[in-house]
Structure 1
Amino acid sequence: MSMIRDLRAVVRPHRRRPGSAYDGSLSEPTPSAVVDCAVYRAGKRVGDSCSPREAVHRVRLANSEPADADSFVWIGLHEPTEAEFEGIAKRFGLHPLAVEDAVHAHQRPKLERYDDVLFAVFKTIRYVEHDQLTPTSEVVDTGEVMVFTGKDFVITVRHGEHGSLRALRRRLEEDVDLLAKGPSAVLHAISDQVVDDYLAVVDELQTDVDEVEFDVFATRSGKSADIGRVYQLKREVLEFKRAAGPLLRPMQLLSERPMRLVDPDIQKYFRDVADHLARVNEQVSAFDELLNSLLQANLAQVSVAQNEDMRKITAWAAIFAVPTMITGVYGMNFDHMPELKSQYGYPAVLIGIAVVCCMMYRGFRRNGWL
C-alpha cells in the first residue's frame, strides 16, 4: 500500500499557491503554443490535457510497468517560438537540427531519422475559393506539419492557418484499436489526412484548368485569351507540385522499409497513402503539362493573329499604292503627258484606278488576306 501511495504522489500534479516560487513539482505552466497534450494508454486517452512535463512523467512511469508499456504522449503545437519549444525538445531529446527546422518552418517535405526519432515534414494544401480566376488570384494556400515520432511520444508542430489536427485527434480517439498501435498510428493518420486534402484540392483545380482551357480555345472574335490567368494558375500548380512531389519517396520508404518505430500493421496502411499520393502527383503533373500546352497555344494564337493583321495591312497598302502611284505621276505637272488635254481623261483615270483596286481587292479576298 505504501508503494501505491508513493506512486500516486508522483503522478498526481502538485499545486502551488498563487505568487509562490516554483517548487520543482510536475505542474508547470503550459506554453501558449501547445494546442493539446494528452497521454494515451492502450488506445484510450487518460485524463484531460496536462502540461508536457507532467505527460512525460506519466508515460515514463506507466511504461516502467510491463502491463502499461504501450502508453505514449501526443503533444500538439502551433507555431511555437524557440523558447516555447526548447523545454519540450530537451525533455524528449530531439535533435537540434530537427528542432530548428520545426521552429523556422519553410522546409521541403522529407523523412529523416535521428537516433530513435523519426522526423517527418508534410506540406498542407488548402484550396482558396474565388468567384472568378484572375491574373492575381490565389488558388492554393500552403502550410506545414512537422511530426516527431518516438517510442513513447508524438510531437506535432503546425505552421499556417489551416491543417488543424483537432478533428483528426478526435477521430483517432474513437478508433481505439488503431490508436493502440502507438505513435506510428498517429504518423499514418496525419499523412493520410494530408494526402486526402491533396485529392480534394486536385478536384477543385480540375475545374480551374478546364475553365482556362475553354477560354484559350473558345475565343472567336480575334482576341487572345487572358494569358495572365493561365500563367497565374501554372504558378499555383507548381506550388502544389513542390508540396506533393517530394513527399512520395518518404511515403514509399515508410510503406516498404521495416522500421523499429513503425508498427508492421501500420506499415501496410502507408502503402495506401503512397498510392493516393502517386495519383496526386500524376494529376498535378498532367495539369502542369496541360498548362504549358495552353501557354504555347495562346502564344501561337497571338502569332497567327499578328500575321493576319500584317497580311491585311499589306493588302490594303498594296491597294492604296495604285491610286497613290497614278496620282503621283499626274501630279508632276509636265506639259507633254497623255490625256492632259482630253475631255474624258480625268474620269477615265479615275475609272481605271477603281477597276485596278477592285481587281486587287478580289484577289486578296480570294487568297484569304482580307
Structure 2
Amino acid sequence: MPMIRRLRRAMRRAYRRPTIDLSHPSRSPLGSSVVNCVVYEDGVRKPSDGDAREALRQVRKTGRGFVWVGLHEPTEAEFAVFASLFGLHPLAVEDAVQAHQRPKVQRYELRDEPGRVGGAVLFTVLKTCRYAGHESAASEIVDTGEVMVFTGPDFVITVRHGRHGSLGPVREALEEHPEQLAKGPAAVLHAIADQVVDAYLAVTDAVESDVDDAENAVFSDNARQADAGRIYLLKRELLELKRAVGPLERPMRSLATSPLPPVGPEIRPYFRDVADHVARVNEQIGTYDALLDSILQAHLAQVTVAQNEDMRRITAWAAIIAVPTMVCGVYGMNFDHMPELRWTYGYPLVIGVMATACALIHRSFRRNGWL
C-alpha cells in the first residue's frame, strides 16, 4: 500500500505539473541550486549563457555533443523545471529531490513528447564519503553525502546532496582529456563513479589507521586505558561505509557487462575497473569489521581478567585481615574464665601469633600469584 500511494503521488505530480516558461534565463526559476550548465561537443566545452533550454536546443539542433547540468540540493520546484525539460521519470525525480536513497542504477524510458530525443535514461545513485577525523569520542569519523546522476542520450544531470563531494574536479579533469569526454554522457558517469570510489579507498585507508591504533591500545601495557566506546564508534562508522559501498558493486558490474544505453561498449571496460575497486573496498570493510570484533572481544576479555585479578587481591587481603579479627573477636567475648587473661606476656604473645599467621598467609598468596 505505501508503494501504491507513492506511485500515485508521483504520477499526479508528473501530469499536473504547471507549465514553466524557460524561454529566457531571467524568467527561468532555476533558483540557487544550479552549479553549472555547459554544452560539450567532441569533448570541447562550448560557449553558453547557462540557459538549460537553449543549451539543449543547441545540442539537438546539431545532433552532436551533450549538455551537463550540475545541481546542488535543489528544491522540488527548482528540479521540476529540468524534469519537464528533459523528460525525466517522476519516480526518479522524487528520489533525486528527497535524497537518502540506496546506491543503485535504474533504467527509465524518456517521456515521449514532440521535439524530444527518444531513448532511455540511467538514474544512478552514489553515496559519497569523506574521512572527517575524530575530535571527540562522539564525533562521526565518516561523513556521507549523495550524488544522483541522470545519464541520457544527449544530457547529464547531476544532483549533489551534502557538504562534500564537489564535482568541480571531475569536470576539470575531463576537460583536460577531451578524447575521453568525447565518448559522451557515459564518460561523465564513469568519471563521477570513479571519483566516488577513489574516495572510498582513501576513507578505508584512514579507517585502517584508526583500527591499528585501537588494536595497539588494547594490547599495550596500559590496556585498561583502551576505550571500548571508541571501538564501537569505529564499528558503527564501518557499518555506515558498508551501506554506501556494499550495494554499489552489482550495479557497477552491470554497467561493465550489460548493454544499458546510453553506456556504449567503448566505455564499459572503464566501469569494470570501477567495479574492481568497489569489490576491493568491500573486502577491506569486511576485514576491518571482523578485526574490530576480535579487538572488542579481546578488550572485554582483558577487562574481565583485570577485574578478576582485583577481586583476588581484595579476597587475599580480606583473608589476611580475618586472622587478627578472629583472635580479637574471641578475646573480646565477656567470659570470666578464659586462658591467659591475666598473664603478663599474654598480650605480646597474641600479637606475635597474629603477625606470624598474617605473614604466612601473605607469603602463601604471593607464591600463588594472588598478591
Same fold (TM over 0.5): yes
State the AA in 2 paired with 1:350.
Answer: I
Indicate whether 1:208 and 2:203 are aligned: no
1:101 is matched with which residue? 95
Q: Describe the superposition over 1:298-339 as per-residue Cα deviations: whole angstroms up to 9, x where unpaired.
A: 111111111111111111111111111111111112122122
Q: Do the aligned residues in 2 keep the contact of 1:134 with 1:229 (CA within 8 Å)? A: no
1:292 CA displacement: 1.6
Instruction: Report the TM-score when normalising by structure 1.
Output: 0.88
Indicate whether 1:272 and 2:278 are aligned: no
1:148 CA displacement: 0.5
Aligned residues: CA RMSD: 1.7
Q: Do the aligned residues in 1 keep the contact of 2:181 with 2:187 (CA within 8 Å)? A: yes
Q: Mark the runs of 5 or more structure 2 residues left unpaired by the alignment.
A: 1-19, 110-119
Indicate whether 1:321 and 2:330 are aligned: no
> Which whole-Å CA distance do the structure 1 matches of 2:360 and 2:184 have between them?
88
1:178 CA displacement: 1.1
> Which whole-Å CA distance do the structure 1 matches of 2:209 and 2:303 have between them?
25
Q: Do the aligned residues in 2 keep the contact of 1:134 with 1:228 (CA within 8 Å)? A: no
> Which whole-Å CA distance do the structure 1 matches of 2:198 and 2:351 have between them?
77
2:142 is matched with which residue? 140
SS of 2:267 mapped into structure 1: helix
1:128 CA displacement: 1.4
> Which whole-Å CA distance do the structure 2 matches of 1:25 and 1:143 have between them?
33
SS of 1:223 mapped into structure 2: helix
1:26 CA displacement: 5.2
Instruction: Report the TM-score when normalising by structure 2.
Output: 0.88
SS of 2:340 mapped into structure 1: coil
1:154 CA displacement: 0.7
Q: Describe the superposition over 1:273-300 as per-residue Cα deviations: whole angstroms up to 9, x where unpaired.
A: 0111111111122121122222111111
Query: Of 157, 160, 163, which residue of structure 2 is paired with 1:161?
Result: 163
Q: Mark the runs of 5 or more structure 1 residues left unpaired by the alignment.
A: 1-21
1:119 is matched with which residue? 123
Q: Do the aligned residues in 1 keep the contact of 2:153 with 2:185 (CA within 8 Å)? A: yes
> Which whole-Å CA distance do the structure 2 matches of 1:266 and 1:228 have between them?
45
1:114 CA displacement: 1.3
Indicate whether 1:84 and 2:78 are aligned: yes
2:16 is matched with which residue? none
1:369 is matched with which residue? 370
State the AA in 2 paired with 1:189.
Answer: A
Q: Do the aligned residues in 1 keep the contact of 2:72 with 2:159 (CA within 8 Å)? A: yes
State the AA in 2 paired with 1:122.
Answer: L
1:233 CA displacement: 2.0
State the AA in 1 paired with 2:151.
Answer: T
For the structure 1 residues 127 and 49, does the alpha-carbon distance in structure 2 shift closer, same or farther, using more than 3 Å as the test? Answer: farther
SS of 2:266 mapped into structure 1: helix
1:58 is matched with which residue? 58
For the structure 1 residues 338 and 89, does the alpha-carbon distance in structure 2 shift closer, same or farther, using more than 3 Å as the test? Answer: same
1:176 CA displacement: 1.4
> Which whole-Å CA distance do the structure 2 matches of 1:336 and 1:73 have between them?
112
1:23 CA displacement: 8.7
State the AA in 1 paired with 2:368.
Answer: N
1:335 is matched with which residue? 336
For the structure 1 residues 49 and 38, does the alpha-carbon distance in structure 2 shift closer, same or farther, using more than 3 Å as the test? Answer: farther
1:225 is matched with which residue? 226
State the AA in 2 paired with 1:31.
Answer: G
Q: Do the aligned residues in 2 keep the contact of 1:224 with 1:298 (CA within 8 Å)? A: no
> Which whole-Å CA distance do the structure 2 matches of 1:342 and 1:24 have between them?
117
SS of 1:265 mapped into structure 2: coil
> Which whole-Å CA distance do the structure 2 matches of 1:204 and 1:316 have between them?
47
> Which whole-Å CA distance do the structure 1 matches of 2:281 and 2:39 have between them?
34
1:99 CA displacement: 0.6
1:281 is matched with which residue? 282
Q: Describe the superposition over 1:224-280 as per-residue Cα deviations: whole angstroms up to 9, x where unpaired.
A: 412222222222222111111111111111112122211111100111101111111
